[in-house]
Amino acid sequence: MSGAPAPVKARIAVLAGDGIGPEVTEQAVRVLEAVAAARGHVFTLEDALVGGAAIDATGSALPEETLAACRRSDAVLFGAIGGPKWGPSAKVRPEQGLLALRKGLGLFANLRPVTVNPRLAGASPLKAEVIAGVDLLVVRELTGGIYFGEKRREGASAFDACTYTEDEVARVVRVAARLARGRRRKLTSVDKANVLETSRLWRDVATRVVKEEFPEVVLDHHLVDSCAMQLVRRPADFDVVVTENMFGDILTDEASVIAGSIGLLPSASLGEGTFGLYEPIHGSAPDIAGRGLADPYGTIASAAMLLRHSLGLEREAALVEQAVARAVDGGALTADLGGSTSTEAAGTAVVQALESLVAVA
């Protein structure tokens, strides 16, 4: 690999979680190990419990030891948590572990890129000409909004408060605007300002931050309901989308249909520094867990984002992304993509593609 930086030493916490989490994480770890071996980097991987697996072992969805393991690492690779064993009415739920991790580590900006590999056009129910050339990035606010407001049940009523402060909005809009500046300079802020006060604040702050600090970025505002429709009607028109926590959660599951499968989409959860948590956007997929059917590409692409954002290894990140594209082009398609390749064989296809890319570089 000519022109690569000097070998890097890094510590990575690996939180595989539940359901297909361990299956897809195992493949991403293989890819990280192949990157390290090819370039002489030293990645020290430390496994830790989270979610349902942690509840079963310790009674907590985020044991102190796990948080400590993340804090002493440069980055976290995360699989998925949750499952029917720990249902929504359980006292301690796996999802609480993930939310506490995001909040506890200050990871307020969640980057969810959506691109289309033409080889997978058939995996999307959308027309090939609608999804051609899509390259969009959703920046989801991750530590505020209705997810983290006060919650309670009172007799026959339930209550979930949604709050945002100007500072919480401004910092995530800055992340999104900075990214837009390095891309096509188009930023779409998504809210529900026709109904919600938090959205009116969101719109005011987004307008001010972009006008004062990013004059070269063109900002437009969309209401979330119409944005959900436009996203599948004309996805290629979007560049960077910034939105609040719950809207971002929902819009990105929808956007995965553009790429062809939810199994393909990666994410990076970032705070102020280079530390980050990297996970596919999907969940623990209890319907296919334990059968070697899960698509590992979203988790492997999350590992590429880890190399880029937390370790500064842009070249290696690009190689992993190319290796995933090669594996797909070579026909290593899991069931969600219309093929019959197993999770492990898909991981092997990426590792082999990576090794051949490195050999010619």
Ligand X SMILES: NC(=O)c1ccc[n+]([C@@H]2O[C@H](COP(=O)([O-])OP(=O)(O)OC[C@H]3O[C@@H](n4cnc5c(N)ncnc54)[C@H](O)[C@@H]3O)[C@@H](O)[C@H]2O)c1
Q: Quick count: other Cβ atoms within 10 Å of Cβ 6?
A: 7
DSSP one-letter code for 107? -
Examine residue 141 and tell whether it contacts Mg ion (CB under 5 A). no
**Euclidean distance between CA atoms 101 and 182, whole angstroms:** 29
Radius of gyration over every alpha carbon of the chain, rounded to an integer in angstroms: 20
249 is in an annotated binding site: yes
Name the token pair of 65: 């030891």
User: Among residues 56, 65, 166, 287, which is the contact residue for ligand X, using CB under 6 A?
Assistant: 287
The minimum distance between CB 173 and Mg ion, in angstroms, equals 21
Active site residues: 147, 192, 225, 249, 253
Among 22, 260, 263, 266, binds ligand X (CB under 6 A): 263
Q: What does the alpha-carbon distance between residue 199 and residue 66 come to, in Å, rounded to a whole number?
A: 35
DSSP summary character for residue 161: -
Shortest spacing between CB 37 and ligand IPM, in angstroms: 31
Least distance in angstroms from the C-beta of 95 to Mg ion: 10
- Tell whether 200 is in a known binding site: no
Q: Determine the residue type at 37.
A: A
CA dihedral sign of residues 220, 222, 226, 230: positive
**Shorter beta-carbon distance to Mg ion: residue 74 or 249:** 249
| Residue 249 or 316 with smaller CB distance to Mg ion | 249
User: Smallest distance, Å, CB 195 to ligand IPM?
Assistant: 21
Interaction of residue 56 with ligand X, rule CB under 6 A: no
95 binds ligand X (CB under 6 A): yes
Q: Does 98 bind ligand X (CB under 6 A)?
A: yes
Number of chain residues interacting with Mg ion (CB under 5 A): 1
Q: What's the sign of the alpha-carbon dihedral 2, 297, 267, 148? A: negative
**272 sits near ligand X (criterion: CB under 6 A):** no
Residue 150, helix vs strand vs coil:
coil
Question: Which three-class secondary structure state does DSSP give residue 251?
Answer: helix
Cα-Cα end-to-end distance for the chain = 5
Of 112-120, 195-203, 209-217, 294-302: span binding ligand X (CB under 6 A) = 294-302
Q: Cα(199)–Cα(233) distance, rounded to whole angstroms?
A: 24
In whole angstroms, the minimum distance from the beta carbon of 253 to Mg ion comes to 6
Out of 30, 192, 222, 282, the only residue in the binding site for ligand X (CB under 6 A) is 282
Task: Report the interface residues with ligand IPM, using CB under 6 A.
Answer: 82, 95, 98-99, 249, 281, 283
- Using rule CB under 6 A, residue 49 touches ligand X: no
By C-beta, is 54 or 349 nearer to ligand IPM?
A: 54
Tally of CB atoms within 10 A around 126: 16
Residues 174, 130: Cα–Cα separation, whole Å: 30
CA 261, chain centre distance (Å): 14
Q: Is 336 in the site for ligand X (CB under 6 A)?
A: yes
Helices 314-329, 343-360: axis angle to 10 degrees equals 120
Give the footprint of Mg ion on residues 250-289 (CB under 5 A): none
Any contact of residue 249 with Mg ion (CB under 5 A)? yes
CB of 252 to ligand IPM, least distance (A): 7
Binding site for Mg ion (CB under 5 A): 249
Feature table: binding site: 102, 112, 140, 225, 249, 253
Feature table: binding site for Mg(2+): 225, 249, 253
